[in-house]
Structure 1
Amino acid sequence: MPSNKAELAARLAATQPGDAVRGLFFKAVFSLIQQKAGLAALEQVRVGDLAKDYSDLRTYSVREFLNLLYVAADALEQDLGTEDAVYHACGESNVTRYSTGPGMLIFGIISRGDPQKLFSGAQMGYSAAVTYGTREYVTTGPKSGTLRVRRDMLPPAYHEGILTGALKVLGLKGTAKAHPQGIDRVDYDITWE
Protein backbone atom coordinates (compact mmCIF):
# COMPACT_ATOMS: atom_id res chain seq x y z
CA MET A 1 0.00 0.00 0.00
CA PRO A 2 1.46 3.41 -0.89
CA SER A 3 2.56 5.71 1.92
CA ASN A 4 0.03 8.20 3.26
CA LYS A 5 0.46 11.21 0.95
CA ALA A 6 -2.22 13.24 2.81
CA GLU A 7 -0.14 12.87 5.98
CA LEU A 8 2.99 13.85 4.02
CA ALA A 9 1.22 17.00 2.80
CA ALA A 10 0.29 17.92 6.40
CA ARG A 11 3.87 17.35 7.55
CA LEU A 12 5.24 19.44 4.67
CA ALA A 13 2.81 22.22 5.60
CA ALA A 14 4.27 22.21 9.16
CA THR A 15 7.77 23.04 7.88
CA GLN A 16 9.22 26.53 7.85
CA PRO A 17 11.85 28.07 5.58
CA GLY A 18 15.29 27.18 6.88
CA ASP A 19 14.25 23.87 8.46
CA ALA A 20 17.08 21.54 7.51
CA VAL A 21 18.68 18.17 8.28
CA ARG A 22 22.24 16.89 7.81
CA GLY A 23 23.09 15.01 4.63
CA LEU A 24 24.29 11.95 6.52
CA PHE A 25 20.66 11.09 7.30
CA PHE A 26 19.76 11.08 3.60
CA LYS A 27 22.75 8.86 2.93
CA ALA A 28 21.77 6.42 5.68
CA VAL A 29 18.26 6.06 4.22
CA PHE A 30 19.71 5.55 0.73
CA SER A 31 21.99 2.87 2.14
CA LEU A 32 19.08 1.14 3.87
CA ILE A 33 17.06 1.12 0.62
CA GLN A 34 19.95 -0.37 -1.32
CA GLN A 35 20.69 -2.94 1.41
CA LYS A 36 17.08 -4.11 1.79
CA ALA A 37 15.53 -3.58 -1.67
CA GLY A 38 18.54 -3.49 -4.00
CA LEU A 39 20.25 -1.08 -6.36
CA ALA A 40 17.28 -0.93 -8.76
CA ALA A 41 15.00 0.32 -5.96
CA LEU A 42 17.58 2.91 -4.93
CA GLU A 43 17.87 4.15 -8.51
CA GLN A 44 14.08 4.62 -8.62
CA VAL A 45 14.28 6.72 -5.45
CA ARG A 46 17.32 8.81 -6.50
CA VAL A 47 15.45 11.04 -8.98
CA GLY A 48 14.58 14.74 -9.07
CA ASP A 49 15.69 16.59 -5.92
CA LEU A 50 16.95 13.32 -4.42
CA ALA A 51 19.44 12.70 -7.26
CA LYS A 52 22.05 15.14 -5.92
CA ASP A 53 25.20 14.17 -4.07
CA TYR A 54 24.67 14.68 -0.34
CA SER A 55 27.53 15.69 1.95
CA ASP A 56 27.36 14.24 5.48
CA LEU A 57 27.75 17.51 7.36
CA ARG A 58 25.96 19.90 5.01
CA THR A 59 22.30 20.63 5.73
CA TYR A 60 19.47 20.11 3.27
CA SER A 61 15.79 20.99 3.36
CA VAL A 62 13.70 18.91 5.74
CA ARG A 63 11.05 18.98 3.01
CA GLU A 64 13.39 16.86 0.86
CA PHE A 65 13.98 14.52 3.78
CA LEU A 66 10.25 14.11 4.42
CA ASN A 67 9.74 13.27 0.75
CA LEU A 68 12.58 10.76 0.98
CA LEU A 69 11.03 9.03 4.01
CA TYR A 70 7.69 8.61 2.25
CA VAL A 71 9.34 7.37 -0.96
CA ALA A 72 11.43 5.00 1.18
CA ALA A 73 8.20 3.67 2.73
CA ASP A 74 6.95 2.86 -0.76
CA ALA A 75 10.27 1.25 -1.78
CA LEU A 76 10.73 -0.79 1.41
CA GLU A 77 7.25 -1.88 2.44
CA GLN A 78 7.62 -5.24 0.71
CA ASP A 79 10.85 -5.90 2.61
CA LEU A 80 10.15 -4.25 5.98
CA GLY A 81 6.37 -4.23 6.32
CA THR A 82 4.16 -1.32 7.28
CA GLU A 83 4.90 2.32 6.64
CA ASP A 84 5.66 2.80 10.36
CA ALA A 85 8.04 -0.18 10.31
CA VAL A 86 9.97 1.50 7.48
CA TYR A 87 10.13 4.84 9.34
CA HIS A 88 11.31 3.02 12.47
CA ALA A 89 14.06 1.25 10.48
CA CYS A 90 15.11 4.56 8.91
CA GLY A 91 15.34 6.21 12.34
CA GLU A 92 17.33 3.34 13.77
CA SER A 93 19.77 3.29 10.84
CA ASN A 94 20.17 7.07 11.07
CA VAL A 95 21.03 7.10 14.78
CA THR A 96 23.51 4.28 14.27
CA ARG A 97 25.29 6.31 11.59
CA TYR A 98 25.04 9.54 13.61
CA SER A 99 26.51 7.94 16.74
CA THR A 100 29.72 7.08 14.88
CA GLY A 101 30.06 10.53 13.31
CA PRO A 102 28.89 13.94 14.60
CA GLY A 103 27.10 12.30 17.54
CA MET A 104 30.20 10.61 18.96
CA LEU A 105 30.63 13.41 21.49
CA ILE A 106 27.10 12.92 22.82
CA PHE A 107 27.13 9.12 22.79
CA GLY A 108 30.69 8.59 23.96
CA ILE A 109 31.71 11.45 26.20
CA ILE A 110 28.58 13.13 27.50
CA SER A 111 26.34 10.08 28.03
CA ARG A 112 29.12 7.72 29.23
CA GLY A 113 26.73 4.88 28.48
CA ASP A 114 23.96 6.29 30.70
CA PRO A 115 20.59 6.63 28.90
CA GLN A 116 19.41 9.30 31.35
CA LYS A 117 22.42 11.48 30.46
CA LEU A 118 22.01 10.70 26.75
CA PHE A 119 18.33 11.67 26.63
CA SER A 120 18.90 14.69 28.89
CA GLY A 121 21.25 15.91 26.15
CA ALA A 122 18.70 15.28 23.40
CA GLN A 123 18.32 18.98 22.56
CA MET A 124 22.07 19.31 22.05
CA GLY A 125 22.21 16.10 20.01
CA TYR A 126 19.31 17.05 17.78
CA SER A 127 20.64 20.60 17.38
CA ALA A 128 23.79 19.13 15.84
CA ALA A 129 21.63 17.19 13.37
CA VAL A 130 18.70 19.49 12.50
CA THR A 131 17.92 23.22 12.55
CA TYR A 132 14.39 23.07 13.92
CA GLY A 133 12.36 22.01 16.93
CA THR A 134 12.85 21.62 20.66
CA ARG A 135 13.30 18.54 22.82
CA GLU A 136 12.86 18.39 26.58
CA TYR A 137 13.59 15.23 28.56
CA VAL A 138 11.95 14.40 31.89
CA THR A 139 13.10 11.44 33.98
CA THR A 140 10.11 9.34 35.08
CA GLY A 141 11.98 6.48 36.81
CA PRO A 142 15.40 4.83 37.15
CA LYS A 143 15.03 3.25 33.68
CA SER A 144 12.47 5.49 32.02
CA GLY A 145 11.75 8.99 30.85
CA THR A 146 9.66 11.10 28.51
CA LEU A 147 11.08 13.12 25.64
CA ARG A 148 8.80 16.03 24.72
CA VAL A 149 9.40 16.99 21.10
CA ARG A 150 7.91 20.18 19.69
CA ARG A 151 7.95 21.61 16.15
CA ASP A 152 9.34 18.44 14.61
CA MET A 153 7.31 17.29 11.65
CA LEU A 154 8.94 13.89 11.03
CA PRO A 155 6.75 10.79 11.53
CA PRO A 156 6.62 9.57 15.15
CA ALA A 157 7.73 6.05 14.16
CA TYR A 158 10.94 7.58 12.79
CA HIS A 159 11.77 9.05 16.20
CA GLU A 160 10.78 5.82 17.93
CA GLY A 161 13.44 4.20 15.75
CA ILE A 162 15.99 6.86 16.72
CA LEU A 163 15.28 6.43 20.42
CA THR A 164 15.29 2.63 20.47
CA GLY A 165 18.34 2.69 18.18
CA ALA A 166 20.10 5.02 20.65
CA LEU A 167 19.49 2.46 23.40
CA LYS A 168 20.98 -0.25 21.17
CA VAL A 169 24.05 1.92 20.56
CA LEU A 170 24.45 1.99 24.36
CA GLY A 171 24.10 -1.81 24.45
CA LEU A 172 20.61 -1.77 25.99
CA LYS A 173 17.18 -3.08 25.02
CA GLY A 174 14.22 -0.79 25.30
CA THR A 175 11.19 0.79 23.72
CA ALA A 176 9.94 4.24 22.80
CA LYS A 177 6.20 4.81 22.49
CA ALA A 178 4.90 7.93 20.73
CA HIS A 179 1.96 9.91 22.08
CA PRO A 180 1.15 12.48 19.35
CA GLN A 181 -0.17 15.83 20.56
CA GLY A 182 -0.39 17.24 17.01
CA ILE A 183 1.29 16.89 13.61
CA ASP A 184 4.55 18.35 14.94
CA ARG A 185 4.22 17.76 18.71
CA VAL A 186 4.84 14.32 20.22
CA ASP A 187 5.74 12.94 23.65
CA TYR A 188 7.85 9.76 23.64
CA ASP A 189 7.78 7.45 26.67
CA ILE A 190 11.13 5.63 26.77
CA THR A 191 11.89 2.58 28.90
CA TRP A 192 14.85 0.21 28.98
CA GLU A 193 16.15 -2.85 30.79
Structure 2
Amino acid sequence: MPSNKAELVARIAAARPGDTVRGLFFKTVFDLVEQNAGPPALQAVREGVLAASYWELRSYPVQDFLTLLYRAADVLEGPLGPENAVYHACGETGVTRYSTGPGMLIFGIISRGDPQKLFAGAQMGYSAAVSYGSREYLTTGPRSGTLRVRRDMLPPAYHEGILTGALKVLGLKGSARATAHGIDRVDYDIQWE
Protein backbone atom coordinates (compact mmCIF):
# COMPACT_ATOMS: atom_id res chain seq x y z
CA MET A 1 0.00 0.00 0.00
CA PRO A 2 1.45 3.43 -0.86
CA SER A 3 2.54 5.71 1.96
CA ASN A 4 0.04 8.22 3.34
CA LYS A 5 0.51 11.24 1.06
CA ALA A 6 -2.11 13.32 2.92
CA GLU A 7 0.01 12.91 6.05
CA LEU A 8 3.11 13.89 4.05
CA VAL A 9 1.38 17.10 2.94
CA ALA A 10 0.45 17.90 6.58
CA ARG A 11 4.01 17.23 7.76
CA ILE A 12 5.49 19.43 5.03
CA ALA A 13 3.01 22.18 5.97
CA ALA A 14 4.24 21.98 9.60
CA ALA A 15 7.81 22.77 8.49
CA ARG A 16 9.08 26.33 8.38
CA PRO A 17 11.43 27.88 5.85
CA GLY A 18 14.99 27.19 7.00
CA ASP A 19 14.20 23.87 8.75
CA THR A 20 17.00 21.52 7.71
CA VAL A 21 18.42 18.01 8.13
CA ARG A 22 22.04 16.93 7.70
CA GLY A 23 22.89 15.16 4.44
CA LEU A 24 24.10 12.13 6.40
CA PHE A 25 20.46 11.16 7.02
CA PHE A 26 19.56 11.49 3.33
CA LYS A 27 22.52 9.27 2.44
CA THR A 28 21.48 6.69 5.03
CA VAL A 29 18.01 6.40 3.48
CA PHE A 30 19.49 6.20 -0.03
CA ASP A 31 21.78 3.37 1.11
CA LEU A 32 18.88 1.52 2.74
CA VAL A 33 16.80 1.80 -0.44
CA GLU A 34 19.64 0.62 -2.67
CA GLN A 35 20.52 -2.33 -0.39
CA ASN A 36 16.94 -3.53 0.00
CA ALA A 37 15.25 -2.57 -3.28
CA GLY A 38 18.10 -2.06 -5.77
CA PRO A 39 19.40 0.74 -8.02
CA PRO A 40 16.15 1.20 -10.06
CA ALA A 41 14.23 1.85 -6.82
CA LEU A 42 16.92 4.29 -5.70
CA GLN A 43 16.58 6.15 -8.99
CA ALA A 44 12.79 6.32 -8.57
CA VAL A 45 13.12 7.66 -5.03
CA ARG A 46 15.61 10.36 -6.09
CA GLU A 47 13.67 11.47 -9.17
CA GLY A 48 12.41 15.02 -9.31
CA VAL A 49 12.78 17.24 -6.29
CA LEU A 50 15.79 15.72 -4.56
CA ALA A 51 19.33 17.01 -5.13
CA ALA A 52 21.78 15.09 -7.31
CA SER A 53 24.24 14.63 -4.44
CA TYR A 54 24.42 15.20 -0.71
CA TRP A 55 27.31 16.05 1.59
CA GLU A 56 27.01 14.37 4.98
CA LEU A 57 27.66 17.47 7.08
CA ARG A 58 25.78 19.91 4.89
CA SER A 59 22.15 20.74 5.69
CA TYR A 60 19.20 20.34 3.32
CA PRO A 61 15.48 21.22 3.57
CA VAL A 62 13.45 19.00 5.87
CA GLN A 63 10.67 19.12 3.26
CA ASP A 64 12.97 17.17 0.90
CA PHE A 65 13.79 14.69 3.65
CA LEU A 66 10.11 14.11 4.35
CA THR A 67 9.50 13.52 0.65
CA LEU A 68 12.39 11.06 0.63
CA LEU A 69 11.05 9.13 3.64
CA TYR A 70 7.60 8.73 2.10
CA ARG A 71 9.05 7.68 -1.25
CA ALA A 72 11.32 5.21 0.54
CA ALA A 73 8.26 3.76 2.29
CA ASP A 74 6.66 3.16 -1.12
CA VAL A 75 9.61 1.16 -2.49
CA LEU A 76 10.67 -0.60 0.74
CA GLU A 77 7.26 -1.90 1.75
CA GLY A 78 8.01 -5.30 0.18
CA PRO A 79 11.34 -6.00 1.87
CA LEU A 80 10.82 -4.10 5.17
CA GLY A 81 7.08 -4.07 5.81
CA PRO A 82 4.45 -1.31 6.17
CA GLU A 83 5.43 2.35 6.13
CA ASN A 84 5.98 2.65 9.90
CA ALA A 85 8.42 -0.27 9.75
CA VAL A 86 10.29 1.53 6.97
CA TYR A 87 10.44 4.80 8.96
CA HIS A 88 11.66 2.87 12.01
CA ALA A 89 14.40 1.20 9.95
CA CYS A 90 15.44 4.57 8.47
CA GLY A 91 15.69 6.13 11.94
CA GLU A 92 17.59 3.22 13.44
CA THR A 93 20.05 3.06 10.54
CA GLY A 94 20.50 6.83 10.65
CA VAL A 95 21.36 6.99 14.36
CA THR A 96 23.79 4.10 14.00
CA ARG A 97 25.66 5.99 11.30
CA TYR A 98 25.38 9.29 13.20
CA SER A 99 26.87 7.73 16.37
CA THR A 100 30.14 7.01 14.56
CA GLY A 101 30.37 10.48 12.99
CA PRO A 102 28.96 13.80 14.20
CA GLY A 103 27.26 12.15 17.18
CA MET A 104 30.44 10.60 18.59
CA LEU A 105 30.70 13.37 21.17
CA ILE A 106 27.24 12.61 22.55
CA PHE A 107 27.52 8.82 22.39
CA GLY A 108 31.14 8.48 23.51
CA ILE A 109 32.06 11.35 25.77
CA ILE A 110 28.86 12.78 27.20
CA SER A 111 26.79 9.62 27.69
CA ARG A 112 29.66 7.29 28.66
CA GLY A 113 27.34 4.39 27.92
CA ASP A 114 24.57 5.66 30.24
CA PRO A 115 21.18 5.93 28.50
CA GLN A 116 19.94 8.50 31.02
CA LYS A 117 22.85 10.81 30.16
CA LEU A 118 22.42 10.11 26.44
CA PHE A 119 18.73 11.01 26.41
CA ALA A 120 19.29 13.98 28.75
CA GLY A 121 21.61 15.29 26.01
CA ALA A 122 19.05 14.67 23.27
CA GLN A 123 18.59 18.38 22.51
CA MET A 124 22.32 18.76 21.90
CA GLY A 125 22.43 15.60 19.77
CA TYR A 126 19.44 16.58 17.68
CA SER A 127 20.72 20.15 17.30
CA ALA A 128 23.82 18.78 15.57
CA ALA A 129 21.57 16.90 13.13
CA VAL A 130 18.60 19.22 12.50
CA SER A 131 17.92 22.97 12.76
CA TYR A 132 14.44 22.83 14.27
CA GLY A 133 12.44 21.60 17.23
CA SER A 134 12.98 21.09 20.94
CA ARG A 135 13.51 17.98 23.02
CA GLU A 136 13.14 17.65 26.77
CA TYR A 137 13.99 14.44 28.63
CA LEU A 138 12.33 13.40 31.88
CA THR A 139 13.63 10.42 33.86
CA THR A 140 10.70 8.21 34.89
CA GLY A 141 12.65 5.34 36.49
CA PRO A 142 16.10 3.75 36.67
CA ARG A 143 15.65 2.23 33.20
CA SER A 144 13.06 4.51 31.64
CA GLY A 145 12.27 8.04 30.64
CA THR A 146 10.11 10.22 28.42
CA LEU A 147 11.46 12.38 25.61
CA ARG A 148 9.11 15.29 24.85
CA VAL A 149 9.61 16.39 21.26
CA ARG A 150 8.04 19.61 20.01
CA ARG A 151 8.00 21.19 16.53
CA ASP A 152 9.42 18.12 14.83
CA MET A 153 7.42 17.04 11.81
CA LEU A 154 9.11 13.67 11.08
CA PRO A 155 6.95 10.55 11.48
CA PRO A 156 6.93 9.21 15.07
CA ALA A 157 8.08 5.77 13.88
CA TYR A 158 11.28 7.42 12.56
CA HIS A 159 12.08 8.74 16.05
CA GLU A 160 11.16 5.41 17.63
CA GLY A 161 13.82 3.93 15.36
CA ILE A 162 16.33 6.58 16.42
CA LEU A 163 15.69 5.97 20.11
CA THR A 164 15.77 2.16 19.97
CA GLY A 165 18.79 2.37 17.68
CA ALA A 166 20.55 4.61 20.21
CA LEU A 167 19.99 1.96 22.87
CA LYS A 168 21.48 -0.67 20.54
CA VAL A 169 24.53 1.53 19.96
CA LEU A 170 24.99 1.50 23.76
CA GLY A 171 24.68 -2.31 23.73
CA LEU A 172 21.22 -2.34 25.31
CA LYS A 173 17.85 -3.73 24.31
CA GLY A 174 14.80 -1.53 24.69
CA SER A 175 11.79 0.14 23.19
CA ALA A 176 10.36 3.57 22.46
CA ARG A 177 6.63 4.17 22.12
CA ALA A 178 5.17 7.36 20.71
CA THR A 179 2.15 9.25 22.01
CA ALA A 180 1.26 11.93 19.47
CA HIS A 181 -0.29 15.20 20.63
CA GLY A 182 -0.31 16.71 17.14
CA ILE A 183 1.49 16.44 13.81
CA ASP A 184 4.68 17.90 15.33
CA ARG A 185 4.22 17.25 19.08
CA VAL A 186 5.04 13.76 20.36
CA ASP A 187 6.12 12.18 23.66
CA TYR A 188 8.29 9.06 23.49
CA ASP A 189 8.26 6.63 26.42
CA ILE A 190 11.62 4.84 26.43
CA GLN A 191 12.48 1.68 28.40
CA TRP A 192 15.51 -0.60 28.37
CA GLU A 193 16.84 -3.73 30.04
* TM-score bucket (shorter structure): over 0.9
Cα distance in 2 for residues equivalent to 1:48 and 1:24: 20
Aligned partner of 2:88 in structure 1 is 88
Cα distance in 2 for residues equivalent to 1:8 and 1:43: 20
Q: Do the aligned residues in 1 keep the contact of 2:46 with 2:68 (CA within 8 Å)?
A: no
TM-score (normalizing by structure 1): 0.99
How many residues of Structure 1 are paired with residues of Structure 2 in the alignment? 193
Q: Where does structure 1 lack aligned partners over 5 or more consecutive residues?
A: none
1:120 lines up with 2:124 in the alignment:
no
Segment drifting more, 2-11 vs 44-53 = 44-53
Aligned partner of 2:101 in structure 1 is 101
Cα distance in 2 for residues equivalent to 1:144 and 1:24: 29
Aligned partner of 1:6 in structure 2 is 6
Aligned partner of 2:190 in structure 1 is 190
Cα distance in 2 for residues equivalent to 1:157 and 1:42: 22
Aligned partner of 2:165 in structure 1 is 165
1:29 lines up with 2:29 in the alignment:
yes
Which residue identity is paired with 2:47? V
State the shift of 1:51 in Å.
4.2
Segment drifting more, 38-47 vs 146-155 = 38-47
Cα distance in 1 for residues equivalent to 2:117 and 2:100: 18
TM-score (normalizing by structure 2): 0.99
User: CA RMSD of the aligned region, Å?
Assistant: 0.6
Q: C-alpha offsets along residues 44-94 of structure 1, whole Å, 9 cap, x if unaligned?
A: 112122242100000000000000000000010011111100000000010
**Which structure 1 residue ranges, 4+ long, deviate > 4 Å from structure 2?**
none
Segment drifting more, 122-131 vs 36-45 = 36-45
1:142 lines up with 2:145 in the alignment:
no
Cα distance in 1 for residues equivalent to 2:180 and 2:5: 18
Segment drifting more, 76-85 vs 49-58 = 49-58
Cα distance in 1 for residues equivalent to 2:45 and 2:149: 29
